[in-house]
Amino acid sequence: MKEERLAVLSMVEKGIINVDEAERLLRALSETAQSEENKDSVISKAGENFGSFIKNAAEKTEKFIDDTKPVVKKAAMDASPKIKELSEKASIFTNKIIKRKKDSENNDVTDDDFEKDVTIMPVSHEQTDVEETDKEHDENKNEKE
């Protein structure tokens, strides 16, 4: 900035520009320098704000993890017996299949291969809309014939 100002003064001294033109050039140089300082200030503030945001996010994330640890641990402890029970049932079932395969050359499936009193899907004895529509279609077809 200092060099540019000296160059403008030198041009006035040599008669290349007059005093009014030199004043305009010096004002423009001053505004440009101020604009550069403002940019630096804005960038600096943005960096500070971003750093603050990251620090805040990290603190909240750490608190969230600390708060959820006991909940996750309790859920795992609550689920553990059920998982163990299901694992044991799967093992028993697998052993039954292996034993049956070894003991018998007959690969027929018997009632012993299935769990007792298990409902897979409830059965409704009510007629569905599709069945009613099919019935009506058949009746209309018979009437036309």
**143 vs 89 pLDDT, higher one:** 89
CB-based contact 5:29 (threshold 8 Å): yes
The tokens of 71 are what? 């909940």
Q: How far is residue 140's CA from residue 145's CA, in Å, rounded to a whole number?
A: 9
Which two three-digit tokens encode residue 113? 């291969």
CA distance 125 to 131: 12
Q: Is the pTM of this model over 0.85?
A: no
Q: What is the pLDDT of residue 127?
A: 47
CB count within 10 Å of CB 136 equals 10
**Which pLDDT score, from 0 to 100, does residue 105 have?**
59
Mean pLDDT for the chain overall: 79
* C-alpha distance across the termini of the chain, in Å: 105
